[in-house]
Amino acid sequence: MASTDPAQSGRWRQGWWSPAQCVASPNFGLRPAGMAVELVVLHSISLPPGVYGGDAIERLFTNRLDPSAHPYFAQIAGLKVSAHFLLRREGGLLQFVSCDRRAWHAGQSSWRGRDNCNDWSIGIELEGLEGHDFEPPQYLALASLLQAIARRYPVREVVGHEHVAPGRKHDPGAGFDWSALCRQPGFPAALRRSG
């Protein structure tokens, strides 16, 4: 199990955060030349929706999801998606894509007049269901991860998928407590949040 407090013992290696369990995804690309990472986008995911645990999320992000394993999986068969990180309900951390690379998490998106948020953001999936509550260990681990990211990259803001793709996406949703995140030890004071 990966450490739930990444700020304590980790180091960056070519965009990989060593406390996270590495589950490399083929779904990534290069960032545009000279593009700085200035944004973190938070998402929520559970597969099937409302079911926690298991390896379905890892299988989705590595193109190994069996469409016959659940009726919902047939609806998303063939999707080529990824995120940089996944935070499990108990605070366990997985990494799928180097933060130096472009993960495929935000889709058609725009923030503060800039399009294509994938080009200049880091995507973090929280195991959960949009509109539902998240767990205290997730907030603690997320604050520590954001601190590590802010020390490594010039990120200025953390937003939800719902903010960069309004009307199209609704995650992490009303169940995500932005104030609770900001109260966590280690949350970077200079990082603006837009939730």
37's tokens: 């990472």
Rounded to whole angstroms, the Cα distance separating 135 from 157 reads: 22
Rounded to whole angstroms, the Cα distance separating 45 from 65 reads: 14
8's tokens: 């304590």
Residues 137, 139, 145: CA angle, nearest 5 degrees: 100
Phi-psi region of 24 (alpha: psi -120 to 50; beta: other; left: phi over 0): beta
Residues taking part in catalysis = 125
3-state DSSP assignment of residue 61: helix
Q: How far is CA 118 from its chain centroid?
A: 12
For residue 146, the surrounding DSSP H or E stretch is helix 136-152
State the first-to-last Cα distance of the chain, in angstroms, to the nearest integer.
Answer: 30
What's the half-sphere exposure (Cβ side, CA atoms, 13 Å) at 93? 27
DSSP class of residue 59 equals H
